[in-house]
Amino acid sequence: MSIGTIVRAGLALLIAFAATTPASAEDKADLVTGYWLTQEKDGIIQVYKGESGSIEGKIVGGSGPPRKDVNNPDPAERDKWLRGKVIARGFRYDGQAYWAGGTIYDPNNGSTYKCRMKLNADGNLEVRGYIGVPILGRTAVWTRTKAPEERPEGR
């Protein structure tokens, strides 16, 4: 076997290994970014990489009449529109299967929960909000969708 053959075989193995090496946490962020329709099909959440590099999500669309954040525990926030509100923040890929370490705000009851997200094999996003530990929580499944039509602020 010649040196050239050994070098070519080594390069082929290196390329094959690189193709099967797991993506970095940075690359994993791209898997969950985009637009998601909530389980109730009444809201569209844009999931994106925030300024700090963590994953965030904000309400960018929904069905029904425009709503204000009337259940917010902060009285100063209750008169603001839900559209444009950041409801998910602080998520980072954990190296396993989850984007964890974040929180999610539920505008239906004004509560904020610890949260983790997982991209299922079927392409849906499993979002689990919980108190304390994940077993004490509720899971919603979001489906990928397209960006909503542009509307004036809050509407």
pTM of the model: 0.79
Contact predicate 44/34, CB 8 Å: no
Exposure string of 47-74, with b = 16+ CB inside 10 Å and e = fewer, is bbeeeeebbbbbbbbbeeeebbbebbee
The pLDDT value recorded for residue 54 is 95
Q: Who contacts 81 (Cβ-Cβ below 8 Å, separation ≥6)?
A: 66, 67, 68, 69, 153, 154, 155
Domain with 132 in it: 24-145
The pLDDT value recorded for residue 151 is 62
Looking at per-residue pLDDT, the higher value among 137 and 4 belongs to 137
| Domain contains 126 | yes
Tokens of 58: 């904000």
Looking at per-residue pLDDT, the higher value among 76 and 18 belongs to 76
| Domain contains 131 | yes
Confidence of residue 28 (pLDDT cuts 50, 70, 90): confident
The pLDDT value recorded for residue 9 is 41
The pLDDT value recorded for residue 7 is 38
pLDDT digits (tens, 9 = 90+) for 112-124: 999 999 999 999 9
| Domain contains 47 | yes
| Domain contains 42 | yes
| Domain contains 6 | no
| Domain contains 134 | yes
Instruction: Decide if pLDDT at 21 tops 60.
Output: no
Q: What is the CATH number of the domain that holds 78?
A: 2.40.128.520
pLDDT digits (tens, 9 = 90+) for 56-112: 999 999 998 999 999 999 999 999 999 999 999 999 999 989 999 999 999 999 999
Interatomic CA distance for residues 76 and 71, integer angstroms: 11
| Domain contains 48 | yes
**Total domains present in the chain:** 1
pLDDT digits (tens, 9 = 90+) for 141-154: 999 999 998 765 55
